[in-house]
């Protein structure tokens, strides 16, 4: 197991990967799933057309360390903060990380609204892992 | 946290299952609390080749079981296992995507688990996870193994009812007569039954069962039924749930349930014995004594087996 992906206590990180709503572009999500697997992460892959409720449900049952959302339909400014709020309302302390096609000028707004990190195309495995590790509460 | 899980808090239950997976003192302590309260749920194991439709059937079966549950019970527990990478330890746990659309989220608790180095089709934490789900009153608990080949049959030592899923074209009568997976089935499912070859698959299984053990007077006999399903649209799932129920009744009436659970307890205890003795052995191998013995093996003045006996000499009296 690579040190990069182990949680602070030596256990593998468990990360949920999903796409919210009507957005059928899941190639990126699959690439990230594989990237994380190869870095020693246990990926709980939910895939396409999820709702905030299904993701929260999975996060509770799977005791996930982080939620990764992939967004390619320009809905990120609406959907990502909604997900962040749903996590808070459920009383969970789990970071929401967004990847995909996010215009640079939207990144600050997403971070302001509670998204833990925003990753674009070309982010390396190390960058993705670092973003997850930095945002998971220890 | 255990009491919160008993009270229905899903997040607490999710966290408990993480403790089970991590093992160690916290896991042992949890087992101490859970064990006296467990022993009530029926454990159904689903196994079969990769892509046979195990996850989809598991989801549908959980939905059927959940619909049939009593109002005052939390519902159906599902543990779905996928393989860990032997290289990196990472895993893609993708069983939920086959289930989320059909299960009743109120009446079902689904946990994905990676094998974390275990090779028999299950994860080491599975018995512990069953114990916890059982102790907080989930019933039944359905275990979906990783996609297996012919010999990964750990599930049969863990489940009360083992369901083996095959698909049309999975093999012929010769495959069916080989030892392994097919021997452990309590129920067979031919999934994707709408495809060509489904009735051939059924026939080959029937032939195999005909060649197998015949009923002996006074010995309880269960001939595994063969069910045809199309899990994607739910065809045959009610019949499958029905057969699981019949098998449960048969196990109870014949006393076979007690036998199976006793051998399961034994299996788990002996597994832990292996683990503890192995830990002692590995620690001793690092000691001066161990290093000296390893040196003798290297010089060929002692065999590895003799060195191992010597290492554990005081325990082997």
Q: Please list, in sequence order, all residues whose beta carbon lies within 8 angstroms of the beta carbon of residue B20, skipping any fewer than 6 positions away.
A: B27, B30, B31, B125, B128, B129, B131, B132
Neighboring chain A residues of B84 at a CB cutoff of 8 Å: 42
Beta strand ranges found along chain B (DSSP E): 43-48, 75-82, 91-93, 108-114, 138-144, 161-166, 187-190, 226-228
Q: How confident is the model at residue B151 (pLDDT cuts 50, 70, 90)?
A: low
Tokens linked to A84:
């962040």
**Percentage with pLDDT > 70 across chain B:** 97
Pick A44's closest partner by Cβ from B87, B93, B116. B93
> Taking each helix axis from N to C terminus, what angle separates B256-286 and B288-298, rounded to the nearest 10 degrees?
90
**Percentage with pLDDT > 90 across chain B:** 67
Tokens linked to B112:
């994905």
Q: Looking at the domain that runs over B39-254, which CATH code has it been given?
A: 3.40.50.300
Average pLDDT, chain B: 91
Q: How confident is the model at residue A14 (pLDDT cuts 50, 70, 90)?
A: very high
Strands laid side by side in the A66-71 sheet? A117-119, A96-100, A66-71, A14-20, A42-50, B91-93
Residue B5 has pLDDT above 90, yes or no: yes
Q: In degrees, to the nearest 5, what angle opens at C-alpha A106 toward C-alphas A102 and A112?
A: 120
A-contacting residues of B 94-113, CB under 8 Å? 94, 96-97, 100, 105, 109-112
Q: Where are the domains of chain B?
A: 39-254, 270-315
Residue A8 has pLDDT above 60, yes or no: no
8 Å CB contact between A105 and A76: no
**ipTM of the prediction:** 0.89
Q: What is the per-residue pLDDT for A130?
A: 94
Q: Please list, in sequence order, all residues whose beta carbon lies within 8 angstroms of the beta carbon of residue B5, skipping any fewer than 6 positions away.
A: B12, B13, B16, B132, B136
Q: How confident is the model at residue B245 (pLDDT cuts 50, 70, 90)?
A: very high
Residue B262 has pLDDT above 60, yes or no: yes
Pick B93's closest partner by Cβ from A2, A42, A53. A42
Give the Cα separation of B83 and B152 in Å (integer): 13
Neighboring chain B residues of A60 at a CB cutoff of 8 Å: 10-11, 14
Neighboring chain A residues of B90 at a CB cutoff of 8 Å: 1, 5, 12, 36-43
Q: What is the per-residue pLDDT for B54?
A: 95
Q: What is the per-residue pLDDT for B117?
A: 81
Residue B174 has pLDDT above 80, yes or no: no
Residue B76 has pLDDT above 90, yes or no: yes
Q: What is the per-residue pLDDT for B172?
A: 67
Tokens linked to B43:
């454990």
pLDDT tens profile B180-210: 777 889 999 999 999 999 999 999 899 888 8
pLDDT tens profile B16-41: 999 999 988 999 999 999 999 999 99
Q: How confident is the model at residue B179 (pLDDT cuts 50, 70, 90)?
A: low
Asked if B293 is an interface residue toward chain A (Cβ–Cβ < 8 A), one would say: no
Q: In degrees, to the nearest 5, what angle opens at C-alpha B122 toward C-alphas B158 and A42?
A: 140
Q: Out of A57-66, B269-278, B301-310, which region has the weakest mean confidence (pLDDT)?
A: B269-278
Q: Looking at the domain that runs over A69-138, which CATH code has it been given?
A: 3.40.50.280
Q: Which of B90, B94, B123, B138 would best serve as a mutation to test chain A binding (most A beta carbons within 10 A)?
A: B90
Whether B88 and A38 lie within 8 Å, measured CB to CB = yes
Whether B89 and A33 lie within 8 Å, measured CB to CB = no
How many Cβ contacts (< 8 angstroms) between chains A and B? 87
Tokens linked to B267:
């299996």
């Amino acid at each position: 197991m690579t040190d990069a992906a182990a949680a602070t206590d030596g256990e593998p990180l468990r990360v949920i990967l999903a796409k919210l709503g009507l957005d059928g572009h899941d190639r990126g999500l699959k690439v990230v799933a594989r990237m994380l697997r190869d870095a020693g992460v246990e990926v709980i892959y939910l895939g396409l057309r999820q709702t905030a409720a299904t993701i929260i449900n999975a996060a509770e049952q799977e005791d996930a360390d982080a939620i990764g959302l992939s967004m390619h339909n320009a809905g990120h400014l609406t959907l990502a903060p909604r997900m962040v709020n749903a996590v808070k309302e459920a009383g969970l302390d789990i970071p929401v990380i967004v990847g995909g096609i996010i215009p640079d000028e939207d990144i600050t707004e997403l971070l302001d609204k509670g998204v833990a990190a925003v990753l674009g195309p070309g982010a390396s495995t190390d960058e993705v892992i670092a973003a997850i590790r930095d945002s998971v509460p220890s | 946290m255990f009491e919160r899980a008993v009270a229905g808090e899903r997040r607490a239950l999710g966290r408990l299952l993480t403790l089970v997976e991590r093992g160690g003192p916290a896991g042992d302590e949890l087992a101490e609390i859970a064990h006296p309260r467990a022993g009530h749920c029926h454990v159904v194991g689903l196994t079969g080749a990769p892509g046979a439709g195990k996850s989809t059937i598991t989801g549908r079966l959980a939905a059927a079981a959940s619909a049939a549950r009593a109002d005052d019970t939390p519902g159906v527990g599902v543990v779905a296992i996928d393989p860990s990478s032997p290289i990196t330890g990472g895993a893609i746990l993708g069983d939920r995507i086959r289930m989320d659309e059909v299960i009743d989220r109120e009446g079902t608790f689904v946990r994905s688990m990676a094998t974390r180095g275990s090779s028999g089709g299950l994860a080491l934490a599975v018995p512990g996870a069953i114990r916890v789900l059982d102790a907080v009153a989930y019933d039944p608990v359905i275990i979906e193994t990783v996609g297996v080949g012919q010999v990964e049959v750990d599930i049969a030592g863990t489940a009360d009812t083992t369901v083996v899923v095959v698909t049309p074209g999975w093999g012929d009568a010769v495959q069916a007569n080989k030892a392994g997976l097919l021997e452990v089935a309590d129920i067979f499912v031919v999934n994707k039954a709408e495809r060509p070859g489904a009735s051939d698959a059924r026939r080959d299984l029937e032939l195999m069962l005909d060649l197998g053990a015949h009923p002996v007077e006074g010995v309880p006999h269960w001939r595994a039924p063969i069910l045809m399903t199309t899990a994607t649209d739910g065809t045959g799932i009610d019949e499958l749930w029905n057969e699981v129920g019949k098998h449960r009744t048969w196990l109870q009436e014949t006393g076979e349930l007690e036998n199976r659970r006793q051998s399961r307890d034994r299996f788990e205890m002996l597994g832990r014995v292996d683990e503890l003795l192995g830990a002692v052995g590995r620690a001793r191998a690092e000691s001066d004594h161990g290093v000296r013995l390893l040196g003798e093996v290297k010089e060929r003045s002692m065999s590895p087996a003799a060195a191992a006996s010597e290492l554990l000499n005081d325990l082997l009296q």
